[in-house]
Structure 1
């Protein structure tokens, strides 16, 4: 031990006294600018403790505790907010969403998310037709399924033409079906199968004439979507503001954006403008997909030359490549030997650069190909600390989960089966579907399981709908496809949407829990998540959302808190 100079004994005693001081005693040396009190604050710390109040200073949590103790920390000009017994949670982070893409067109699309009947959905198209000029496009880009409609069916071309006869209409269902009105077919010059991208096929009527319906895979639909007129930059910026505020109203304060189909480098300019203008109301960790087939590695190497891991700031940073790394194999996980070699080369490069990646992989029957590649790379470049995430994989077996755990991989489980549970039952059988996805098994094995929606083409962006599905395994159509044995607890599900997704974003040291020193990202809920009937959780919203201690959304009785 180094020798101590004169007077050092006093310093040692002072340090010992500091270490023994309680967090509240330390906090009392500072003053808070905001106090939230008289509430039920779920800190989501390691003990999942509940507190009555919290104190905020300079955008961070100063302390949590009893209401009286927190009020004592208030500065002379501090704002005191009486929660009236309401529940407060850390701001939610969607661990896999195509939010940047959804935001670009949020202000110009017709939204069918949550619409209860096909009649209502068609009325929304008709209202858009009346509000817009003849000849302008009407786009429903996803986020719906016929199972949500009372009629349990999709619209017909005749029904769409009847409500919008003078407009080209584009209506996409997930990534498997598209309806184009006659005006849309004409505008896109689609007359025959040869006019449809590979992977798509025109449906025909009894006279062998195209109906306007196209059955297609994701890549084909993406190419058709790319032909639609793009919103202006101002419309993109305005739509992005509106979409992120919409997410704030649902308690979302962060997203991990996966890029996705139809996302090219130019598509990031709107979110970058909001970031530069300090108008972002969610924290964005974004991934870049390979923009085109055939040159994936070269393109990603070029795009990332000036974007090292974590490049950015607390509001927006680059998280790494994903989710489409090798285009030829992303859709269903079946991989050719050539594709596997290309994937291995790209992942080895990502590991050498220490990037976090997100990787789309659907079937368990082929995930061994991916895990073989990662295990081989792990011999030279340990991946455990890189937070690589395997997305979807709803059919993951326990054996696959054990291999993922051994490699330190994260499992990103979105609520896609809320829309597609019935389809899974048809594919694997009712009994097997009861065990899918094996969330409880994964947690027992010690995997980090992150929550998300994969919105907006294939699902709703509502996190409480996702939380309800994690808990009860019931689809939008009312079918309970997953058994309770594989359900997480309420605590575990909330951790999936807070601690675990902050981990996926490489931000768990900054946010995801309501602990001293963390960013004051939080949501005050309209109902108590921990005690509300499970069937009612999907209806919960935020009535007050704060980002870094600043109010970004407020509804009654907190509407006056918006600043």
Structure 2
């Protein structure tokens, strides 16, 4: 007993000495930036709130009172009066197709958040006036008719009338596409054979194609691939604009899921920004299997020079995903052959120490995936690899328990913000109230990461996503998920900060505002913790910093 108490005392004394030494080191450093007179949400283990923070050499030196932090200021330090505003760790979208969205952001027409169909069509009209005759006008997703006051989609006739000289491509999620006559002609689409497998041409009463195509994701991906690609210069410009747009919403990092229509050449623009030190978000990227049939061989070849974590603090390779085996990725239905291929692929990934993001939708078949992972776990500790199961909105409590036992992460996106009404019709109002079981997962101790899956299937706005996590209300105003499965405001913010940083293998560097971590932060237009629930989606950043450098500023900070 005496020996035990002595050992305990020694450990406590050592911890005290280490803490004192750390404090001395921090106090010995001088800060180049002080943010003071604010409400700093550190998102540390205690979710503590501070008044100010000090930044030096791109990292947080300390947090505390305004007076204490000012004492750390160097002679040339910048002192920023927050005016009482809330500050949060920079947000990390834990699953987004941001690299893909960025490639065409400068050349697409963006309907995300547009309130009326009239306004959306006006954007098409303006693009037709601005662009050359014959050039493509593309809306690649991120919208739904529920956001429009008119509650309907555009018709081919009204689109062709406002852009008669341009081929127009308007995609809705991954289930519907509108093409004007010039677009149909340019893509050589005449019958169903031109949009298969998985696509079907809608026809009018005279059996003529209307220009509307109903299809699955694979079919629309193939059609999108036929569109003219922006030049590398346009891709780089679009990428800069997209990442700055994300900075304006408090995003300082993304975990990119690759996705349909993403090939090795698709990464050249983001790599150029990285090489030129012009990235304004930290990127952890995943590589999808490029094509069906040779998934493992292709990824093995692509990753020969990409060991786990390859890169630096601004961009690194995070592992394969989200599409692993093409035959099974869309909705999780899996054949014995597909299960064997999946097992072979995941076992190889585990042997290499790769982090995985894996698209899986229905709970009815996730047991097949978990069986595979449990078998691999006998030889490789999967919980050390930070594998994430994405989507799975209808995860049962039993499935969540199995995921917890394996140390899997659950990546929950806000897809039901767009699709909640459809889900409600499919499963009934009572079942929909339980989807997704975020509160249950957190009670079980699962790491739940946040994200949007943007931009084709949802908005990339993290505050829209945060509001949906909290209130379960769709873009159309229907409350589909019950409050019993809602996270608290603290938990939802943790999903978008420390948990998503964990998914990126960066939780030791960012995700909280603690001494020693990167000064990635956002000063908010409204206090996330106290804003009315229906106002959270309107919050923006007025000052965003990555590594202590300002990457976005709005008044009053833009005037500095």
Q: TM-score range by the shorter chain?
A: over 0.9
Matched, 1:222 2:221: yes
Give the secondary-structure state (helix, strand or coil) at the position aligned to 1:426: helix
The alpha-carbon deviation at position 16 of structure 1 amounts to 8.8
Q: What residue number does 2:272 align with?
A: 273
Q: What residue number does 2:46 align with?
A: 47
d(CA) in 1 for partners of 2:383, 2:17: 35
Aligned CA distance change for structure 1 residues 346 and 15 (closer, same or farther; 3 Å): closer
CA root-mean-square deviation: 1.1
Q: What residue number does 1:103 align with?
A: 102
Q: What residue number does 1:28 align with?
A: 27
Q: What residue number does 1:138 align with?
A: 137
For residues 498-513 of structure 1, the aligned pairs below 5 Å read: 498-513=497-512
Q: What residue number does 2:351 align with?
A: 352
For residues 367-516 of structure 1, the aligned pairs below 5 Å read: 367-516=366-515
The alpha-carbon deviation at position 515 of structure 1 amounts to 0.2
Residue by residue over 1:345-384, the C-alpha shift from the partner in whole angstroms, topping out at 9 and shown as x without a partner, is: 0000000001000000001011111111111111111101
The alpha-carbon deviation at position 23 of structure 1 amounts to 5.3
Give the secondary-structure state (helix, strand or coil) at the position aligned to 2:28: coil
TM-score (norm 2): 0.97
Q: What residue number does 1:123 align with?
A: 122
Give the secondary-structure state (helix, strand or coil) at the position aligned to 2:327: helix
d(CA) in 1 for partners of 2:74, 2:418: 49
The alpha-carbon deviation at position 344 of structure 1 amounts to 0.5
Aligned CA distance change for structure 1 residues 237 and 16 (closer, same or farther; 3 Å): closer
Gaps of 5+ in 2: 1-12
Matched, 1:211 2:207: no
Residue by residue over 1:147-200, the C-alpha shift from the partner in whole angstroms, topping out at 9 and shown as x without a partner, is: 111111111111111111111000000000000000000000000111113100
The alpha-carbon deviation at position 27 of structure 1 amounts to 1.8
For residues 501-540 of structure 1, the aligned pairs below 5 Å read: 501-540=500-539
Q: What residue number does 1:68 align with?
A: 67
Give the secondary-structure state (helix, strand or coil) at the position aligned to 1:287: strand
Aligned CA distance change for structure 1 residues 20 and 485 (closer, same or farther; 3 Å): closer
Aligned CA distance change for structure 1 residues 71 and 91 (closer, same or farther; 3 Å): same
TM-score (norm 1): 0.96
d(CA) in 1 for partners of 2:278, 2:196: 38
Aligned CA distance change for structure 1 residues 219 and 20 (closer, same or farther; 3 Å): closer
Aligned CA distance change for structure 1 residues 106 and 29 (closer, same or farther; 3 Å): same
Q: What residue number does 2:79 align with?
A: 80
d(CA) in 1 for partners of 2:173, 2:466: 21
d(CA) in 1 for partners of 2:78, 2:113: 37
d(CA) in 1 for partners of 2:520, 2:19: 29
Is residue 197–residue 224 contact of structure 1 (8 Å, CA) maintained in 2? Answer: no
Give the secondary-structure state (helix, strand or coil) at the position aligned to 2:88: strand
Give the secondary-structure state (helix, strand or coil) at the position aligned to 2:435: coil
d(CA) in 2 for partners of 1:511, 1:364: 32
The alpha-carbon deviation at position 20 of structure 1 amounts to 5.6
Is residue 111–residue 140 contact of structure 1 (8 Å, CA) maintained in 2? Answer: yes
The alpha-carbon deviation at position 510 of structure 1 amounts to 0.2
Aligned CA distance change for structure 1 residues 119 and 446 (closer, same or farther; 3 Å): same
Residue by residue over 1:277-327, the C-alpha shift from the partner in whole angstroms, topping out at 9 and shown as x without a partner, is: 000000000000000000000000000000000000000000000000000
The alpha-carbon deviation at position 26 of structure 1 amounts to 3.5
The alpha-carbon deviation at position 267 of structure 1 amounts to 0.2
d(CA) in 2 for partners of 1:419, 1:16: 50
Gaps of 5+ in 1: 1-13
Give the secondary-structure state (helix, strand or coil) at the position aligned to 1:443: helix
The alpha-carbon deviation at position 28 of structure 1 amounts to 1.6
Is residue 23–residue 63 contact of structure 1 (8 Å, CA) maintained in 2? Answer: no
Give the secondary-structure state (helix, strand or coil) at the position aligned to 1:538: helix
